[in-house]
Structure 1
Amino acid sequence: MILSRRHLLGVGAGLSTPALAQPTWPRGPVRLVAPYAPGGTVDAVCRLVQPGLQSELGVPVVVENRPGAGGTMGTAAVARSAPDGQTFVLVFDSHVTNPALMPNRGFDSARDLAPVTLIGTTPMLVVTPAPRRWQSLPEVFEAAKRSEPEAISCASNGNGTLTHLVLAQIQKALGVSFLHVPYSGGGPLATAAASNQTDLALGAAALSGHVATGLVRALAQTGAERSGKYPNLVTLAECGVPGINAVSFTGVLAPIATPEPILRQFRAALVKVVEQPTISQRLRDGLGFDLLMSEPAAFGRFIDVQTETWARVVRENRVRID
């Protein structure tokens, strides 16, 4: 029913907008909002596709970082923007964890935002800075069991993010307590991990570069199965923590009443950009994404399922962000 409402709103907006009779879009600079700090995964994807989108659309495409409140501030601003096709937002996994943790976010995804495409998914990584002694995640778990509560720190990319919820699941499964250190996004998290400021870090693609350079050591991945980028990296289940299947993602949304032909045109332009060999290689090899470029309805279903899944995790683990 959520998808039906979303779909009908989009179609209705398209049929009722006289401007669609004239090829006037885009009418000026297009804003691509990254609702997270610079240096993280969403920021990296925005800046990777920006030149190609600019070329395809024939107008300037401006990447605008609007971090705050786990991505909700920038996303809420887009939800309130005019539905004229001049504003889009790239969301991250916190988009599906925030509803259960922040009931007063100022917007509802199904009611206020139209899905454009799910760009791709990637399992998250559990890493430790290179100077730390641990060579495997079970070693860390054993150390945590022998230590006082919160003696071992684990950084996430923010309170209420998917990394925070995965940490909560690990702690409940093992009966241990790590010191949770939330950062304001993937960029600051990756910097902290690379500079040896934490024992462990849970994050997505922003950590990949530091794994490649050897500044951090990957101990496990959070997907149900091993990823194509890290085929030799064990899963949490293989480390004795079954039942976790957490994948980071990034996708594009627009204000709900944005005319459907505009959404289709924007998506087509983005698909062309992502299909360029240099871009797709950087998304796959550099950021670790399995590229999907889904249809809007499929992205809508993905959001709905993920939101329900992580709301259950929040309830079962009694996660709070205050």
Structure 2
Amino acid sequence: MCLSLLLGRRAAIALSLLSINAAFSPAQAQSTENRPLRLIVPNQAGSGVDAVARSMSSALTAAFGRPIVIENVPGSGGLIGTQQIVRAPKDGSVLGMVSSNHVINPFIYKHVPFDAIKDITPISVIASSPLVLVVNTETVRAKTTREFITELKASPKKFSYGSAGNGTVLHLAAEYFLSEAGVQALHIPYKGTGNMITDIIGGQVHFGMLPLAVAAPQIKAGKLRALAVSTSSRSPALPDVPTVAESGIPNFEFDSWVAIIGPAGLPPAVIASTYQKLKEALATKEIHDSFAAQGFTSMTTTPEQTQPFLISELEKHGKLVKRSGATAD
């Protein structure tokens, strides 16, 4: 479902985050604002989410009026870093930047030490990015998604697709496509996208869903053929590539996103102040251009919109994980 439509429909039933009754005195606010803001990223340095965080650093420093310290805490698919976020002080001195994996992990790990919704304070979804359905240029004859579906149906045991690992966004996006198209293919999980791309280009794997920023250079170089983008509208970076929905699977939409969260129980004043400062930072041309260069679209959802969005994403990804049978590597 389109993110904008979903937010509009769900906003009316959002649980107001401003109903939190925790006290927050002016003295506490002054003390907190004099300290650096810790932004925990539950991903390794150099990852896509880390790149988003670091591209925001100067704009966040200006908007918040204090230094921003980015802390990478990778491990267990993001669980270790997110656990630090949910255990952080409830004063706004520590925030977290999470991705779509936040709503996938509860379904692929047997033991998750926190609740993905109840133990956080959603602040804002700040960026989204389409995925691109790409195929090998030699082993796949199809030039369109409709032709590719026909090819898959004709040889159900022939084709394989790569992903960045079991239960990752790329895995679930491909499974979603196969399910909606009514076709099958063999899943080949990789440890990240590097070797996956190499093998699609080399023909060892036939196709996959790739992040836009990763796929675009290979597509423009003619090393991969793009059939469709996963979002509800075309990407300005690949304007000639239709959406999956345009290509015969109505209502198909799947994107990756990045959100800012805090620990549960943040005071209303902190929530409101943090959101306004984020909104100020994200409104700058610097952020817009930086995100675009990475294949992301900058955006801001209010705290009241963000919670129902995360709940909906949790429900959607739970169904996809069950359908795929994915478990953590």
Of residues 49, 53, 58, the one that matches 1:46 is 53
Gaps of 5+ in 2: 1-11
CA 1:224–1:132: 2 relative to 1, 3 Å:
same
Tell me the amino acid that sits aligned with residue 279 of structure 1: I
- In the alignment, the residues of structure 2 paired with residue 2 and residue 238 of structure 1 have an alpha-carbon distance, to the nearest angstrom, of 30
Q: Does 1:247 align with 2:255?
A: yes
* Structure 1 SS opposite 2:69: strand
Of residues 216, 219, 229, the one that matches 1:221 is 229
Displacement after TM superposition at 1:143 (Å): 5.5
Q: Does 1:261 align with 2:269?
A: yes
- In the alignment, the residues of structure 2 paired with residue 38 and residue 217 of structure 1 have an alpha-carbon distance, to the nearest angstrom, of 30
Of residues 128, 152, 158, the one that matches 1:121 is 128
Displacement after TM superposition at 1:307 (Å): 1.4
Displacement after TM superposition at 1:233 (Å): 1.0
Displacement after TM superposition at 1:49 (Å): 0.2
Instruction: Quote the residue 2:326 is aligned against.
Output: 320
Instruction: Quote the residue 1:271 is aligned against.
Output: 279
- In the alignment, the residues of structure 2 paired with residue 42 and residue 266 of structure 1 have an alpha-carbon distance, to the nearest angstrom, of 19
**Contact 1:85-1:262 within 8 A present in 2 as well:** yes
**Contact 1:153-1:178 within 8 A present in 2 as well:** yes
- Deviations, residues 69-97 of structure 1 (Å, cap 9, x unaligned): 33222212211222232221111112223
Displacement after TM superposition at 1:237 (Å): 3.7
CA 1:177–1:208: 2 relative to 1, 3 Å:
closer
- Deviations, residues 220-270 of structure 1 (Å, cap 9, x unaligned): 111234344433212224444455311211110011123332333333222
- Deviations, residues 16-75 of structure 1 (Å, cap 9, x unaligned): x34656522224232222222333321121011012212333433122222233322221
Q: TM-score, normalised by structure 2?
A: 0.80
- In the alignment, the residues of structure 2 paired with residue 318 and residue 91 of structure 1 have an alpha-carbon distance, to the nearest angstrom, of 23
- Deviations, residues 75-123 of structure 1 (Å, cap 9, x unaligned): 1221122223222111111222333333531111221110111113232
Q: Does 1:234 align with 2:242?
A: yes
Of residues 90, 104, 121, the one that matches 1:83 is 90
1:104-115 aligned within 5 A: 104-115=111-122
* Structure 2 SS opposite 1:110: coil
Instruction: Quote the residue 1:280 is aligned against.
Output: 288
- In the alignment, the residues of structure 2 paired with residue 62 and residue 205 of structure 1 have an alpha-carbon distance, to the nearest angstrom, of 28
Of residues 206, 210, 214, the one that matches 2:217 is 210
CA 1:293–1:154: 2 relative to 1, 3 Å:
same
Tell me the amino acid that sits aligned with residue 321 of structure 1: T
1:162-177 aligned within 5 A: 162-172=169-179, 173-177=181-185
- In the alignment, the residues of structure 2 paired with residue 75 and residue 22 of structure 1 have an alpha-carbon distance, to the nearest angstrom, of 24
Displacement after TM superposition at 1:159 (Å): 2.3
- In the alignment, the residues of structure 2 paired with residue 260 and residue 20 of structure 1 have an alpha-carbon distance, to the nearest angstrom, of 16
**Contact 2:35-2:66 within 8 A present in 1 as well:** yes
- Identity over aligned residues, as a percent? 24
Instruction: Quote the residue 2:21 is aligned against.
Output: 12
- In the alignment, the residues of structure 1 paired with residue 155 and residue 218 of structure 2 have an alpha-carbon distance, to the nearest angstrom, of 27
Moved segments of 4+, more than 6 Å: 129-133
CA 1:2–1:90: 2 relative to 1, 3 Å:
farther
**Contact 1:129-1:194 within 8 A present in 2 as well:** no
Tell me the amino acid that sits aligned with residue 52 of structure 2: V
Gaps of 5+ in 1: none
- In the alignment, the residues of structure 2 paired with residue 128 and residue 66 of structure 1 have an alpha-carbon distance, to the nearest angstrom, of 34
Instruction: Quote the residue 1:74 is aligned against.
Output: 81
Tell me the amino acid that sits aligned with residue 327 of structure 2: I
- In the alignment, the residues of structure 2 paired with residue 2 and residue 111 of structure 1 have an alpha-carbon distance, to the nearest angstrom, of 16
Q: TM-score, normalised by structure 1?
A: 0.81
* Structure 1 SS opposite 2:106: helix
Displacement after TM superposition at 1:164 (Å): 1.5
Residues paired across the two proteins, number: 311
CA 1:75–1:281: 2 relative to 1, 3 Å:
same
